[in-house]
Amino acid sequence: MIKKETKVLVTGCGGMLGEAVYHEFKSICQLYPTDKDINEPWLEHLDITDFAAIKRKIITLKPDYVLHLAALTDMEYCEKNPEEAFLVNAKSPEYLAKLTAELGIPMAYISTAGVFNGEKEEYHDDEMASPLSVYGKSKYQGEHAVKTLNPQHFVFRAGWMVGGGPTKDKKFINKIMKQIQAGKTELAVIDDKLGSPSYTYDLAKIMRAVIDREKYGVYNSVCEGGGSRYEVAEIILQAHNLHDKISLKKVDSSYFKQDYFAPRPRSEKLVNTNLKSLGITIPRDWKVCLQEYMEMYDWKVPNLIDKSFQVA
Ligand SMILES: NC(=O)c1ccc[n+]([C@@H]2O[C@H](COP(=O)([O-])OP(=O)(O)OC[C@H]3O[C@@H](n4cnc5c(N)ncnc54)[C@H](OP(=O)(O)O)[C@@H]3O)[C@@H](O)[C@H]2O)c1
């Protein structure tokens, strides 16, 4: 149970999910948010590959919980730098899991829908992992280590991460928004990959709810429903009233094979079976979450002319 005096150490808190975790946890406990890059005044430096620094921090702070968010999340970077990917995404959580287990500290780990190969339409919490990419394999090795080494583990499996806003969002939503900001009036978007978005602001609430219940285990933690990247882009355009100003061109993944060469599962749709069995009903429909996300920040959308008035 998280109380005012509970000490919670967070790694990788400067990223997309970290921003939501910071805001969800900062007023309910003693929060120690860390990252290797200090992009906020409230962050403290902690590199999770520096095992001596990790040990020092944990021994001196004696946290009640460790929330391990830090990871290399750029799939192409991981593909090109497998040693670094395995060090950050697998060896570091393994070290943390061992250390926290020795000290009796519960640990949360954020895994990914990318641990599955995507041949099925959707995945429940306890299905067999079979990752395709270096990122997926390294994250699964991390997940496995946490599950086997620290009995007091919470594994939250996220889907397509949505959150962080214009400065921290490194993923699909902001990639689309950057093209819109650049004035593009036609966007090529793939329609052969399916997924469930994970809304960081809801995911942080889910983490809090599960940790409060002290129910260790694996939790798929995604929005309700899911769709293709193309459907996500459609909602983005609708949210900004741009559907009659910007056209979407349906393409398949081969269109982007130079830039996005890491193998990706056909389906990354998850079902929140274990969350539901705990009675946790925080996840909302992904379209509602995306609309809320679009309204939450100033995305600096340019004034575009209606498509019907554009000269070919
Ligand atoms: N993004 C997704 O679509 C997605 C989907 C499923 C699961 N996840 C998982 O969710 C968790 C949170 O990721 P996110 O979406 O918030 O991505 P993110 O924005 O990339 O956040 C990860 C944070 O970890 C930091 N980090 C990387 N190496 C580190 C190190 N050696 N020591 C300390 N911090 C380090 C990153 O810094 P830099 O930015 O400088 O690298 C970044 O601030 C990760 O475990 C990720 O694998 C993400």
pLDDT tens per residue across span 224-233? 999 999 999 9
Query: Is the Cβ atom of 141 under 6 angstroms away from ligand 1?
Result: no
Nearest CA to ligand 1 atom 11: 69
- Is residue 182 in a domain? no
- Give the closest residue to 161 by CA, choosing from 26, 286, 55: 286
- Is residue 91 in a domain? yes
| pTM of the shown model | 0.96
Task: Calculate how far, in angstroms, residue 312's C-alpha sits from the geometric centre of ligand 1.
Answer: 42
CB 67 within 8 A of CB 11: yes
β-pair type (227-228, 194-195): antiparallel
Tell me the per-residue pLDDT of 165-205, one tens digit each, with 9 for 90 and over.
Answer: 999 999 999 999 999 999 999 999 999 999 999 999 999 99
Tell me the per-residue pLDDT of 6-43, one tens digit each, with 9 for 90 and over.
Answer: 999 999 999 999 999 999 999 999 999 999 999 999 99
Angstrom distance (rounded) from CA 98 to CA 61 = 17
Return the C-alpha torsion angle 235, 238, 243, 247, nearest 10. Answer: -20
Angstrom distance (rounded) from CA 100 to CA 112 = 22
Q: Which atom of ligand 1 is nearest to the CA of 73?
A: 20
Angstrom distance (rounded) from CA 38 to CA 17 = 15
Length of the chain: 312
Nearest CA to ligand 1 atom 12: 69
Query: Is the Cβ atom of 108 under 6 angstroms away from ligand 1?
Result: no
Q: What is the mean pLDDT of residues 278-302?
A: 95
Query: Is the Cβ atom of 47 under 6 angstroms away from ligand 1?
Result: yes
CATH of the domain at 160: 3.40.50.720
Task: Calculate how far, in angstroms, residue 279's C-alpha sits from the geometric centre of ligand 1.
Answer: 28
- Is residue 299 in a domain? no
Look at residue 304 in the predicted model and tell me its pLDDT: 72
Look at residue 302 in the predicted model and tell me its pLDDT: 86
- Is residue 246 in a domain? no
- Is residue 243 in a domain? no
Q: What is the mean pLDDT of the chain?
A: 96
Query: Is the Cβ atom of 289 under 6 angstroms away from ligand 1?
Result: no
Angstrom distance (rounded) from CA 141 to CA 275 = 23
Angle (CA) 137 138 141, round 5°: 85
Look at residue 278 in the predicted model and tell me its pLDDT: 97
- Is residue 309 in a domain? no
For the ranges 26-35, 61-70, 141-150, 294-303, the lowest mean pLDDT is seen at 294-303
Task: Calculate how far, in angstroms, residue 228's C-alpha sits from the geometric centre of ligand 1.
Answer: 23
Look at residue 74 in the predicted model and tell me its pLDDT: 97
- Is residue 244 in a domain? no
* Distance from the Cα of residue 76 to its chain's centroid: 16
Q: Which of 67, 161, 198 to mutate to test the pocket of ligand 1 (most atoms within 8 A of CB)?
A: 161
Q: What is the mean pLDDT of residues 89-115?
A: 98
Angstrom distance (rounded) from CA 125 to CA 128 = 9
Nearest CA to ligand 1 atom 32: 47
Query: Is the Cβ atom of 88 under 6 angstroms away from ligand 1?
Result: yes
Domain count, the chain: 1
Full residue range of the structural domain in which residue 36 is found:
7-165+196-224+269-284
At which residue do the structure tokens 């007023």 appear? 27
Q: What is the mean pLDDT of residues 147-167?
A: 97
- Is residue 125 in a domain? yes
Query: Is the Cβ atom of 69 under 6 angstroms away from ligand 1?
Result: yes
What is 108-165 written as a DSSP string?
Answer: EEEEEGGGS-S-SS-B-TTSPP---SHHHHHHHHHHHHHHHH-SSEEEEEE-EEE-SH
Distances (CA, A) of 209 to 70, 81, 200: 21, 36, 14
Angstrom distance (rounded) from CA 175 to CA 181 = 10
Q: Which atom of ligand 1 is nearest to the CA of 139?
A: 47
β-pair type (44-45, 227-228): unpaired
Asked whether the predicted pLDDT for residue 242 surpasses 90, the reply is yes
Task: Calculate how far, in angstroms, residue 247's C-alpha sits from the geometric centre of ligand 1.
Answer: 32
What is the DSSP secondary structure assignment for residue 31, as one 8-state letter?
A: E
Query: Is the Cβ atom of 40 under 6 angstroms away from ligand 1?
Result: no
Question: Which tokens sit at 82?
Answer: 């497998």
Tell me the per-residue pLDDT of 53-91, one tens digit each, with 9 for 90 and over.
Answer: 999 999 999 999 999 999 999 999 999 999 999 999 999
